[in-house]
Structure 1
């Protein structure tokens, strides 16, 4: 049986909404095929596999393929490792990126800092207002990996956004950290984003081609998967 910690990352002020994330700890015995199968069975936007908790070495998968970097996945993993060890790890080590990803806690929220070059190449589509964002829907290949957004309060840096990600096998990503990091960098300012159904994502530029993303996380469940029930071929 494979134990999966199911988190919700970027919950709002009341612990509602948030993007589901699966985290498998001590995953060293799982093959690439098995990891992909677990991620496919869970069908979250991302599932993380941790090899050696003390090293914070991690591998990220969507339901369809491996990803080098994902904001909500790394924020959630940093939070979970910190909860287990009593202190948030200073870095995470995604296996497909060159440099470690910094992690830290600020005002009770978990943050990560990463290179924008490691993030997927999200497109951004500015819409006239929040109502237009609410009405938006992917149409075929129109927005295969795009964040649609509008200002809620531009002077205050408040944004309304949604992400469509059919290119990664995800129809809509409830709260996308990497797209929000890129948006903050492109806007050149800190932002607070009301994302998806009601998630809350914070992001800001961090200089030298980097950005930070952070928010609140909760543990929802520990789920057990019997992989033998599923075809891993």
Structure 2
């Protein structure tokens, strides 16, 4: 049987905010082809759907699809959310393998999920520094002329504290509540650990790991998926099983 869980990555210390990913653990031998996975992700409208393609183990293969018509080679919040969902099901995972390649993963003693990957696997996000966090708070969209951009400002430069928001209108993506991959690129640019307050209140942690690698971390929680989401996922896999 197909199993699906809704995980939120980069929640704050109270478990609020965060970016959702639906984690679909496919039945053995019952996976969907890529075009059906994408069609399902489009219908569900969740920012990301991570399909667990192999039986959960220390090294687990996944396929990530966005809700805007495109597969995702690598994404911070889908990978971390998948790690937490599999932990919730009792699985210890050390490596998740999306399309981009193997990603080292761990869950520390505080319950924070971490991954280590090349920052260049991220989409080519732009970064626009603004004068203050207040300017960022006041935005209702990107400044004129910007697209695919993470706006950011220091709130405490000495401590590596950042305020950030992100939009990508050209791919039909509105504001991203918590973009780990853009924050990885920002970390590579500054060469230092960052704590990013993102979107409405999500918290992203990063640290350089050498040779272009960045460690990305965040608290994650698993919540029940809507009944309608679960029903649609089960329907799609039932149709596929019938051929």
Q: TM-score, normalised by structure 1?
A: 0.89
Structure number with greater Rg is 2
Q: Structure 2: which 5+ residue stretches go unaligned?
A: 237-243
Q: For residue 37 of structure 1, report the CA deviation from its aligned partner.
A: 1.7
Q: Deviations over 1:73-95 (max 9, x none)?
A: 111111111232342x111111x
Contact 1:4 1:225 in 2 (8 A): no
Q: Does the alignment pair 1:72 with 2:77? A: yes
Q: 2:114 aligns with which of 111, 116, 128?
A: 111
DSSP 3-state at the match of 1:44: coil
> Match for residue 91 of structure 1?
95
Query: Does the alignment pair 1:163 with 2:169?
Result: no
Computed over aligned residues only, the root mean square deviation of the Cα atoms, in angstroms, reads 2.0
Runs of 4+ in 1 over 4 A off after TM superposition: none
- Partner in structure 1 of residue 9 of structure 2: 9
Matches within 5 A, 1:19-34: 19-26=19-26, 28-34=30-36
State the shift of 1:140 in Å. 9.1
Instruction: Give the counterpart of 2:232 among 220, 226, 229.
Output: 226
Unpaired segments ≥5 residues, structure 1: none
C-alpha distance in 1, partners of 2:103/2:114?
10
1:164-221: CA deviation from partner (whole Å, max 9, x where unpaired): 1223432111001101111111111101111101111101111111101111111111
TM-score, normalised on structure 2? 0.86
Contact 2:8/2:221 (<8 A) preserved:
yes
- Conserved 8 A contact 2:21-2:47: yes
